[in-house]
């Protein structure tokens, strides 16, 4: 891509789907810095991607109903497989629109899981492995980063200081989220190259849980909690006992400097 060429939709989709090589991604990200309209499209596509994962990943993990299990008939097996593939593709194309109208089950953890845990895990899996651009704003500009994220989330945010625990702030980024809201992600790294991310957003929770909760999803572990309308999630590939004290420190600092609406 050249400087005088705008980023087209095909290139944006290839970026979101992870089909670009390292050099192509770096070149694309440079072009996106000079193309605000393409950047907005990219964030919209990433938002749709997250919505699809939240909506359909649980379905993929469900057991196949007994009535749909293969029979001795080869023809029946092929028909069942073809029908399942058709409905999944159809749902993937149009399900993100229906997502806005779904009535979620009234369970204790549905809102927290869908609006905090799942998007935090997905965001960590996407950006924690990045080499060239793991963050949008580096730690060298941490004051500007805090101000920018605070302004976009309409609340006062301050990145926790975890240097005494061996983790340095790399930086952070703004993320699209559910319910027409935005989310913030702070990323940290220790001398072994282990990265953790703190995901913060406003939301409506089924219940308020000021205690620290623990969850494991898709090979990632997470400590999370909610405070009024704020949600916090600390995600890593480390085992629970390897960063439990770190989670307590983040919890402590965020409670000492609670997020509050901007005046």
Helix/strand/coil (H/E/C) assignment for every residue in 135-171: CCEEHHHHHHHHHHHHHHHCECCCCCCCHHHCCEEEE
Q: Kindly state whether residues 44 and 122 are assigned to the same domain.
A: no
**Model pTM score:** 0.59
| Pairwise CA distance, residues 244 & 230, whole Å | 21
Q: Kindly state whether residues 161 and 227 are assigned to the same domain.
A: yes
Mean pLDDT of the chain: 77
In a domain, 4, yes or no: no
Residue 189 has pLDDT above 90, yes or no: yes
| Pairwise CA distance, residues 120 & 178, whole Å | 12
| Pairwise CA distance, residues 214 & 233, whole Å | 10
For 159, phi then psi, to 5°, come to -65, 130
In a domain, 83, yes or no: yes
pLDDT of residue 175: 92
In a domain, 245, yes or no: yes
Q: Kindly state whether residues 135 and 93 are assigned to the same domain.
A: no
2 vs 47, higher pLDDT: 47
Share of the chain above pLDDT 70, in %: 69
| Pairwise CA distance, residues 225 & 227, whole Å | 7
Report the interhelical angle of 9-16 vs 36-60 (nearest 10°). Answer: 40
Residue 197 has pLDDT above 60, yes or no: yes
* Contact partners, residue 65, CB within 8 Å, separation at least 6: none
Residue 37 has pLDDT above 70, yes or no: yes
* Contact partners, residue 255, CB within 8 Å, separation at least 6: 227
pLDDT of residue 102: 31
DSSP H helices, the chain, are: 9-16, 22-33, 36-60, 74-98, 110-112, 118-127, 142-153, 240-256
pLDDT of residue 188: 97
pLDDT band for 30, please (50, 70, 90 cuts).
Answer: confident
> What's 152's domain CATH number?
3.30.200.100
Q: Kindly state whether residues 164 and 82 are assigned to the same domain.
A: no
In a domain, 20, yes or no: yes
Averaged pLDDT, 174-186: 85
Q: How far is CA 151 from CA 80, 148, 182, in A?
A: 50, 5, 11
pLDDT of residue 22: 77
* Triad 119, 124, 125: Cα angle to 5°: 100
pLDDT band for 248, please (50, 70, 90 cuts).
Answer: very high
Residue 250 has pLDDT above 60, yes or no: yes
pLDDT of residue 26: 82
Q: Tell me the per-residue pLDDT of 60-102, one tens digit each, with 9 for 90 and over.
A: 566 666 655 555 444 555 555 555 555 555 454 444 333 333 3
Q: Among 32-46, 71-85, 169-183, 221-235, where is mean pLDDT lowest?
A: 71-85
Tokens (6 digits) for 79: 């028909």
Q: Kindly state whether residues 28 and 123 are assigned to the same domain.
A: no
pLDDT of residue 29: 81
| Pairwise CA distance, residues 56 & 89, whole Å | 11
In a domain, 243, yes or no: yes
Task: Single out the residue of 161, 178, 189 nearest to residue 231, CA to CA.
Answer: 178
Q: Kindly state whether residues 75 and 196 are assigned to the same domain.
A: no
Q: Tell me the per-residue pLDDT of 122-154, one tens digit each, with 9 for 90 and over.
A: 999 999 998 888 999 999 999 999 999 999 998
42 vs 163, higher pLDDT: 163
Q: Among 32-46, 47-61, 94-108, where is mean pLDDT lowest?
A: 94-108
Which residues make beta-bridge pairs with 201? 183, 231
Q: What domain range includes position 50? A: 9-54
Averaged pLDDT, 38-60: 70
pLDDT of residue 100: 33
In a domain, 261, yes or no: no
pLDDT of residue 1: 42
* Triad 206, 172, 154: Cα angle to 5°: 50
Tokens (6 digits) for 104: 């979620």
Share of the chain above pLDDT 90, in %: 35
């Amino acid at each position: 891509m050249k400087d005088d060429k705008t980023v087209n939709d095909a290139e944006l989709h290839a970026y979101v789907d992870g089909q670009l090589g390292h050099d192509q991604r770096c070149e694309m990200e440079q072009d996106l810095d000079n193309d605000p309209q393409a950047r907005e499209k990219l964030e919209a596509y990433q938002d749709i991607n997250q919505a699809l994962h939240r909506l359909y990943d649980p379905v993929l993990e469900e057991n196949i109903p007994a009535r749909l299990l293969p029979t001795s008939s080869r023809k029946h097996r092929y028909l069942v497989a073809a029908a399942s593939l058709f409905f999944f593709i159809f749902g993937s194309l149009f399900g993100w629109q229906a997502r806005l109208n779904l009535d979620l089950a009234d369970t204790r953890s549905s809102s927290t899981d869908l609006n905090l845990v799942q998007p935090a895990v997905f965001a960590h899996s996407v950006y924690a492995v990045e080499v060239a651009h793991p963050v949008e704003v580096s730690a060298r500009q941490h004051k500007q980063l805090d101000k920018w994220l605070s302004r976009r989330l309409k609340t006062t945010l301050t990145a926790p200081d975890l240097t005494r625990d061996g983790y340095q702030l790399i930086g952070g980024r703004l993320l699209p989220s559910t319910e027409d809201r935005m989310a913030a992600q702070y990323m940290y790294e220790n001398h072994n190259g282990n990265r953790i991310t703190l995901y913060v957003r406003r939301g409506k929770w089924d219940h308020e849980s000021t205690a620290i909760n623990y969850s494991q999803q898709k090979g990632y572990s997470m400590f999370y909690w909610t405070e009024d309308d704020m949600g916090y999630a600390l995600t890593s590939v480390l085992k629970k006992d390897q960063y439990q004290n770190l989670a307590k420190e983040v919890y402590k600092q965020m409670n000492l400097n609670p997020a509050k609406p901007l005046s």
